[in-house]
């Protein structure tokens, strides 16, 4: 089975973001150099992971979940009284099974754009905090 973009989805908590044009997720892991003196070849061990993501959402002011996600960057939250992150799920296959990545994210960038003759869209960037839950 080959998945297409129509199989994907982006969720805020358990609610689907209505009009997502695209999303991407990038998972990196540092390589820590553990080469010792007198060795002629470098050796590495796995380090910590860093995960970032972004999405482009068509702007529809009547979609409250979309607007909530976009406005989250404007909120000044007191982290001592609750989480300062958004519960985001990146879905490769909305028909179920594998290919869903749930994480707590900080919204790091929101960039609306307007072009004549095109639907208005907003790019959103995410920084994952903590572990990424999911598998391919």
Quote the domain boundaries for residue 126.
5-135
**Rounded to an integer, what distance in angstroms lies between the CA atom of residue 99 and that of residue 90?**
8
pLDDT value, residue 116 = 92
CATH for 66: 2.30.110
Q: Which two tokens stand for residue 123?
A: 């790019």
**Rounded to an integer, what distance in angstroms lies between the CA atom of residue 33 and that of residue 133?**
27
pLDDT value, residue 80 = 72
Read off the pLDDT of residues 81-100 as tens digits, 9 standing for 90 and up: 767 788 999 998 888 767 89
- Non-local CB neighbours of 136 within 8 Å, separated by 6+ positions: 92, 98, 99
Residues of the chain with pLDDT under 70: 82, 97
pLDDT value, residue 75 = 82
Q: Which two tokens stand for residue 98?
A: 């594998």
Domains held by the chain: number? 1
E strand or H helix that includes residue 116: none
- Non-local CB neighbours of 76 within 8 Å, separated by 6+ positions: none
Tokens 């990424």 correspond to 132
pLDDT value, residue 90 = 93
């Amino acid at each position: 089975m080959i998945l297409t973009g129509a199989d994907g989805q982006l969720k805020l908590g358990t609610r689907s973001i209505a009009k997502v044009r695209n999303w991407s997720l990038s998972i990196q892991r540092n390589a820590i150099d553990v080469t010792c003196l007198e060795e002629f070849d470098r050796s590495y061990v796995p380090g910590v992971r860093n995960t970032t993501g972004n999405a482009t959402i068509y702007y529809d002011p009547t979609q409250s979940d979309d607007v909530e996600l976009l406005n989250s960057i404007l909120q000044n939250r007191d982290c001592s009284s609750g989480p300062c992150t958004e519960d985001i799920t990146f879905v490769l296959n909305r028909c179920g099974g594998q290919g869903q990545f749930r994480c707590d994210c900080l919204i790091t960038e929101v960039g609306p754009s307007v072009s004549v003759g095109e639907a208005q869209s907003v790019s959103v960037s995410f920084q994952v905090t903590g572990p990424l839950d999911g598998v391919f």
